[in-house]
Amino acid sequence: MAQKNYYETLGVDKKASKDEIKKAFYKLAAKYHPDKKTGDEAKFKEINEAYQVLSNDQKRKEYDTYGQTFSGAGSNASGGPGAGGFGAGQGFGGFDFSGFQQGGDMNFDFEDLGDIFGDIFGGFGGGGRAKTKRGRDMSLEMDISFEESIFGVERNVLISKVSTCKTCHGSGGKPGTKMETCPKCNGKGKINDIKRTIFGAMQSVKTCDECHGSGKVPKEKCETCHGAGVLNTKEDIKISVPPGINNGEVLRMSGMGEAVQGGQTGDLYIKIFVKPNKIWKREGNDLIMTQDIKLTDAILGGKYVIDAIDGKLEFEIPKGVSPNDILKVKGRGVPSMQNKNHRGDALIKINILIPKKLSKKAEGLIEDLKKEGL
Ligand SMILES: [Zn+2]
Ligand SMILES: [Zn+2]
């Protein structure tokens, strides 16, 4: 296929700033928008494709280097909404509206702009992607002990949120009620909507907000949620923290966030804070601690029993151990998150206690050792 020149498409220099690219795009988009007299759908698509790439630092870099992009919309020469840029629940990932908002000199409704692009791209090729409504994501923080971080823990948390109604399972209808044709859209599931935008007055087709596109509404409303399908609740949620979690890691519980009428439920994110342990520290999947031992044990060797995270831990000090030597007890560390049956090791760092005071007798014995050449 022919190589596209995105800079030419937008009529900007290769060294154009983000701002210049943005301005060029909006000027051209306003001119070629298919609903305008000067409109040209093919041209509009091209402009948009160029903008998708050049407005994104990563994609622009790829394009400058390789003449194409590797991720998401823009490289999609067949037109269409671009596999990666749109959809994904949120709709308009590829557009950078936020920066434009700060530009100041142009004044229009950003939500409208989203709708316009949404409708246009949704319409391309027929049966395009509909914008999916999505409930709010929620997040919470959770403190757990060091031991719980090693072996995992289950906790129940009471969360206030908007949930799907349990009586009607989100339909908004009284259980067993008949479904009727939606009076707002006459069963089409879509309604015409006229908006004033920078491109002039534009007509677009929107999903009906009464039936959420299904074209049907229940004859009798659910008594629990008064037909909303969702309601404010306190929900008891069981959170399973897997073994081996690290301080600061975030768990994601898909679909456990807030519900929204006629849409997808958001996610729940749980940030884990692990309280440190006084004796043991974590190093990857190993646990490490420092053990004081007697000078004679260092020389003659000996057995020690200490408290591990999971009960007693017995280990042998080899004869002639040196300060800072690390003894390894296999399989008494942190369970691997990939394979619960595999655990890291317990590592014991040796600290030899040199006596500060000696009895007369002990001093005599040490003197004898000295004579031995030790
Ligand atoms: Zn209900
Ligand atoms: Zn309707």
The single-letter code of the amino acid at 61 is: K
Distance 230 CA to ligand 1 centre (A): 7
Span from the CA of 117 to the centroid of ligand 2 (angstroms): 22
Distance between Cα 172 and ligand 1 center (Å)? 5
> Of the bound ligands, which one is closest to the alpha carbon of residue 206?
2
- Measure the CA–CA gap between 271 and 267, rounded to whole angstroms: 13
What is the full DSSP assignment across 54-71? HTSHHHHHHHHHHSS--S
**Centre of ligand 1 from the C-alpha of residue 174, in Å:** 7
Return the pLDDT at 56.
87
Q: How far is CA 320 from CA 294, 298, 316, in A?
A: 12, 5, 12
Question: What is the dihedral angle through the alpha carbons of 95, 100, 106, 110, rounded to the nearest 10 degrees?
Answer: 50
Centre of ligand 1 to C-alpha 239, Å, is 26
Q: What are phi and psi of 174, to 5 degrees?
A: -65, 135
Between vectors from CA 6 to CA 99 and to CA 113, what angle results, nearest 5°? 40
pTM check: above 0.75: no
Structure tokens that stand for 118 in this block: 């949404």
Instruction: Give the contacts of 62 (CB within 8 A, at least 6 positions apart).
Output: 68, 69, 70, 71
CA of 184 to the centre of ligand 2 (A): 5
CA 224–ligand 1 middle distance (angstroms): 5
Distance CA(258)–CA(138), nearest Å, equals 7
Nearest ligand to the C-alpha of residue 215? 2
Beta carbons of 140 and 253 less than 8 angstroms apart: no
Ligand 1 center–CA 13 separation, angstroms: 57
* Residues 208 and 187: beta-carbon distance below 8 Å: no
Whole-angstrom CA distances from 262 to 180, 209, 221 are 17, 9, 15
From the CA of 173, which ligand is nearest?
A: 1
The Cα 127–Cα 35 span in angstroms is 20
Tens digit of pLDDT per residue, the chain (374 long)?
455 789 999 999 988 999 999 999 888 888 888 777 778 888 888 888 889 889 888 888 878 877 766 654 333 333 333 333 333 333 333 333 333 333 333 333 344 444 444 444 433 333 334 457 889 999 999 999 999 999 999 999 999 999 999 999 988 999 999 999 999 999 999 998 887 777 777 778 888 888 888 899 999 999 999 999 999 999 999 999 999 999 999 999 999 999 998 888 999 999 999 999 999 999 999 999 999 999 999 999 999 999 998 899 999 999 999 999 999 999 999 998 777 789 999 999 999 999 999 999 999 999 999 999 98
In this predicted structure, what is the pLDDT of residue 149?
95
Q: State the amino acid at position 23 in one-letter form.
A: K
Task: Work out the angle at residue 50's Cα, subtended by the Cα atoms of residues 46 and 52, and round it to the nearest 5 degrees.
Answer: 115
Distance 187 CA to ligand 1 centre (A): 21
Nearest-ligand number for the alpha carbon of 190: 2
Determine the Cα–Cα distance for residues 273 and 143; give it in Å rounded to an integer: 5
Distance 307 CA to ligand 1 centre (A): 54
Question: From start to end of 113-214, where are the E strands?
Answer: 138-144, 153-164, 179-181, 190-197, 200-207
The answer to whether residues 140 and 117 touch, using CB atoms and an 8 Å cutoff, is no
**Ligand 1: centre distance to CA 182 (Å):** 18
- Residue 242: helix, strand or coil by DSSP? coil
H/E element holding 305? strand 302-308
Token pair of 269, please?
């994110």
Instruction: Give me ligand 2 centre to Cα 48, in Å.
Output: 32
Name, in order, each residue with C-beta under 8 angstroms of 125's C-beta and a sequence gap of 6 or more. Answer: 79, 80
CA of 206 to the centre of ligand 2 (A): 10
> Ligand 2 being an ion, which residues bring their Cβ within 5 A of it?
182, 184-185, 208, 210-211
Q: Which helix (H) or strand (E) holds 272?
A: strand 268-274
